[in-house]
Structure 1
Amino acid sequence: MKTITQRELAARSKAVLDDVEAGETYHVTRNGTEIAEVRPLGSRRRFVPLDELQRKWRNAPAVDAARMRAEADGFFGDEDRIGDEPEERE
C-alpha cells in the first residue's frame, strides 16, 4: 500500500492507475488526512510469476503452528474445533 496526495494523483493518474491495475493499492490524502483508497477490483486476478512468489515466501516469517494453535484456543476455545476428533466428556 502506498500513500499519495490528491495533487500527486491528479498529476500522475496514468502511472497510478497502471500500478493499481498491476495490484497496488493507494491511499489518497488531502491536507494530510486520508480520504480515499484506490485499489484493484476484487474480481480481477493478477498473474504473479513463480520467482516473485518464491522471493516473497523466502522473506516471510516462520510460523510456529503449535503457538498459533495455543493462541487460537486461548481466544476461541477448543471445544468446537473443526477437523479434530471429538473428545469424550465425562
Structure 2
Amino acid sequence: MVAQPEITQRDLRNRSKEIMDAVQQGQAFTVTRDGHQIGELIPLRTRRRFVSRTEFAAMSRGAPEMSIAAFRADQDAMADQAANDPYAR
C-alpha cells in the first residue's frame, strides 16, 4: 500500500487549487494540523452508468452457476409472502 502524502492545513488553504487539481487526477492526501493527522482528502469514485453487452458477458463468464429453484426457495424461506398480501385470507 502506497502512503499518501501529508499536507498541512496551511498548505491546503494556500495551495488549494493545486491540491484540488491533484485530487481530481486521483491523488489522495492526509491532512495534518499541529503535526497530527486529522483527515483524508480523497477523490470520489466515478460510477459508470453503462456496461456494454460484451463487457457484461465477459464479467458473467466467471460467475458461479446458480440454481433458480434454490434461489426461489431461499427467497420464500426469508420472506413472509402473506404478511403484506391484502388478498390473503
Q: Please give the range of the TM-score, normalised by the shorter of the 2 chains.
A: 0.3 to 0.5
Larger radius of gyration: 2
TM value normalised by structure 2: 0.47
TM value normalised by structure 1: 0.47
